[in-house]
Chain A
Amino acid sequence: MSEKIPVTVLTGYLGAGKTTLLNRILTEEHGKKFAVIVNEFGEAGIDGDLVVGADEEVFEMNNGCICCTVRGDLIRILDGLMKRKGKFDAIIVETTGLADPAPVAQTFFVDQDVGDATRLDAVVTVTDAKWLKDRLKDAPEAKNQIAFADVIILNKTDLVTPEELAEVEAAIRAINPYAKLHKAERANVDIAALLDRNAFDLDRILDIEPDFLEAGHHHHHAEDVRSISLTVPGDVDPEKFMPWINDIAQIQGPNILRSKGILSFKDEPRRFVFQGVHMILDGDLQRDWKPGEKRESRLVFIGRGLNENELRKGFEACAA
């Protein structure tokens, strides 16, 4: 089995600077060769041998999971690209400004051929320091893209005052305190900060501490999309937890954009780690708890209209 090709998903609202960033990735000297899947092919000013136009054909899987949508065009294009293995080291998928990142991410978990050949590395969202606050008011897509991100580029910081910058950063953190955030002008972010993140690799979910600890304290109550962090100070009972989390995913899956957890199961020497995208959950027992490491169980949900009290009570009822 050869190494899986990493795929970076690049999202961002119209005009945030996705194309600038993409061109930087493609032209800069970093010794990597990329295959790039773009939208609005031929109009974005990106050209090259391995640039492919996509149509964003989202369809629903016939598996009874109502929010289990995938990108048919992506499956087809990745299948075609895999015949040319060796021509590139990594793949970048650019989505349109209005796209929901979930179907793109779900494609990597639902389609076996795609999952066998490639791995989703991270969702990178480019945002615009000047206009983001307005977009958060009028564009649910912009909010989704931030909520979904593993890496956020806060671009065009030269166009705002330090106070405005602090405000927009707080707005981002209210929605998603867990993503790595990089400030940039004209998308001048270190490429290494975007690639090889392993954000969807269960072995790399080492902790789920927020990237920014003061996050959201004075803002998050105003946002319909936000993150909820829950802790049980000790073991949980897998017999209670597994049915509960599956129920949550089935019932509230459409509203949960991303979820992650590190759990201490009773009488289990290893950590149980899981992550999810909407209804799709992926979990496994991972490394041993280290001697002296505090055994506790933590969950993070990022989603829309989530009932924190209900989730907290449900999780606490799983305590062993």
Chain B
Amino acid sequence: MTTLNPPTSLREHVTPIAAETHVVSAHWVKQGLLFGLADGRVLRWRDGATEFVEAHAGGILCATGDGGRLISGGDDGRVVATGFEGEPVELAKDPKRRWIDAITLSGSGNLAWNSGKTVQARDEKGRVRTLEAASTPQGLVFAPKGYRLAIAQMNGVSLWYPNTEAKPEFLEWKGSHLDVNWSSDGRFVVTSMQENALHGWKLGDKPSHMRMTGYPAKPRSLSWSHDGLWLASSGADGAIVWPFQGDGPQGKAPRECGVRHARVTRVAFHPGALVLAIGYDDGCILLVRLTDGSELLVRPAKRGSGISAFAWDKAGKRLAFGAEDGAAGVLALPS
């Protein structure tokens, strides 16, 4: 699995960016790149020009976005949309100023977030519906089609249709579920768990379970391949990539890519090829081609600069990254 020669380097194609503080999220919009930062600011970047704008009074905890905006949830209890120009716009505010723990946006513009146990979903017309979860969710994601929200919480995942009165369906599995992800074909829901594992459900009349265990740490970063056949995850000394062809990964061994003496913290599949960006807690970034395991070095290890955010642009030509010490950058793939 380990290549004998040091990986070919793409280092000279990386433009460094000083984000100054822990990068929570990176997000490409039409005009450029937006970083959500742990001190509450958003950094706008376009071709080397940077501008900071204050989006939250406290820190940014979570973020998502669409073609024009970064939408962030903060420890000031606010949901804020920041575009490439103008002032950030407040979309919602928790009256008790509770933390916004998770946030998600669907392709058609439905937005959901939660503060404490209160989950709110806002459809594209701006109508907000509220659900009280049994415990504080830490992960939210919309189904790829339709207005349906998966809510990761204690002992399982709720699947909620916000525009109906129906009680949410509950996918039960004991333990604390953290992040949640939905496959692009809508067939699988996968969570990361407190117990250093992934848990998946194949949806249907009778949802079946998939257990993906053996991680030395919590797999907090998940990414689906563009064809929906692979799910990459962090939490080990290489990226763990599970096969989702057919009935899913049950009984099959995962691929291990980019194994190093460090822990993988972020993974992001290229939007059009079986190439995976892998970020480690020692600051290193590799690109790995899934088909043959070949590796390209994007960023060498740098002490205290663990990778905390990744984003590919839509065309898959540029990879943005951010680190916990405030370092960031953009890799432009050579054409």
Contact = CB atoms under 8 A, between A and B. Distances in A.
Interface of A: 2, 41-42, 49, 52-53, 55, 57, 59, 61-63, 72-73, 75-77, 80, 83-85, 111-113
B24 interface: yes
Interface residues of B, number: 29
A57 B117 CA distance: 11
A55 B217 contact: no
Interface in B51-99: 58-59, 61, 75, 96-99
Nearest to B195: A62
Contacts of A62: 174-175, 194-195
Given A83-B59, A83-B324, A84-B39, A61 B194 contact: yes
B194 A57 contact: no
A130 to B, nearest CB: 33
Interface in B31-47: 38-39
Q: Which 10 A-B pairs have the closest CB atoms?
A: A83-B38, A83-B22, A62-B175, A62-B195, A72-B176, A84-B59, A57-B135, A42-B96, A80-B61, A84-B38
Given A62-B195, A72-B194, A83-B324, A2 B304 contact: yes
Nearest to B96: A42
B116 A76 contact: no
A76 B75 contact: no
B202 interface: no
Nearest to A83: B38
B328 to A, nearest CB: 15
Contacts of A112: 217-218
Given A83-B24, A83-B324, A61 B38 contact: no
A57 B154 contact: yes
Nearest to B325: A85
A52 B75 contact: yes
A63 B193 CA distance: 13
B194 A75 contact: yes
A84 B116 contact: no
Contacts of A61: 194-195
Contacts of B116: 53, 55
A75 B175 CA distance: 14
B138 interface: yes
Nearest to B308: A83
A57 B138 CA distance: 13
Contacts of B24: 83
B99 to A, nearest CB: 7
A84 B37 CA distance: 10
